[in-house]
Amino acid sequence: MRRMSIVLLVMCLVAAISAEAAATQLGLGGFVGMNIPVAQDDASSGALFGFRARLEFMPRLGAEAFFTSLNQGESSVEVWGRDMTVDGGSINSFGLNLIFGSMSSAQGAHFHFTGGIGSYSISREGPPDESRFGYNFGPGLEIGLGKVSVEIDAKFHVITLDGGGTRKNVGISGGLNYYFGLGDTY
């Protein structure tokens, strides 16, 4: 909870500083899609969903606070010569991303690249839940339709583990954003 408070505080500070600029946009959105674990025998593909609050504070530069839930499907693994079904579990993350490139409700297609850090909570049947640091990055395409835009993106999530290992997931999603113009738009 403390980390989320810090993320929200940073977003408010950025908004306050950016309010002085003539062109600031605040966008709220939600998304759904598919989570694909990478090189993990103990999980299969599952659904993902989340929401974001973004702020464009300079042309071609913005930030977004996000929450994403990555669900992982069951998998079959061999243990001592016997096949066992393993619960894939879920991963909930929240954090802050920087957005490089165009993001707005302006008409037409806008490409961007997103990258950031977050707190990832891993929940599975059996072992205790654990919270880990992670990061994500990936490209996106946003199609402006007025105050609403349609966004399609792909994010590569990397979660650090004890002993130097990582868990990796690719999320492919689509969603809608609604923009509140706080000034002139680009």
pLDDT of res. 99: 94
> What percent of the chain lies above the pLDDT cut of 90?
40
Written as one letter, the residue type at 44 is S
Mean pLDDT (whole number) for 98-104: 84
Location of structure tokens 């998998």 = 75
101 sits in the region (left: phi over 0; alpha: psi -120 to 50; else beta) called: left
Fold category of 2-75+86-181 in CATH:
Porin (2.40.160)
DSSP string, 115-176: EEEEEEEEE-SSSPPEEEEEEEEEEEEEEE-SSEEEEEEEEEEEEE-GGG-EEEEEEEEEEE
Q: What is the pLDDT of residues 9-58, one digit of tens each?
A: 555 555 555 444 445 778 999 999 999 888 777 777 888 999 999 988 78
What pLDDT does residue 76 have? 67
DSSP summary character for residue 73: B
For the stretch 139-149, pLDDT in tens is 999 998 888 99
Q: What is the mean pLDDT of residues 59-73?
A: 88
Tell me the three state secondary structure of residue 132.
Answer: strand
For the cut 80, the answer to whether the pLDDT of residue 184 exceeds it is no
pLDDT classification of 186: cutoffs 50, 70, 90 = very low
The answer for residues whose C-beta is within 8 angstroms of residue 60's C-beta and 6 or more apart is 100, 101, 102
Distance CA 72, CA 81 (A): 24
Distance CA 143, CA 127 (A): 42
Quote the pTM value.
Answer: 0.77
DSSP label at 183? S
Residue with the two structure tokens 């930030």? 63
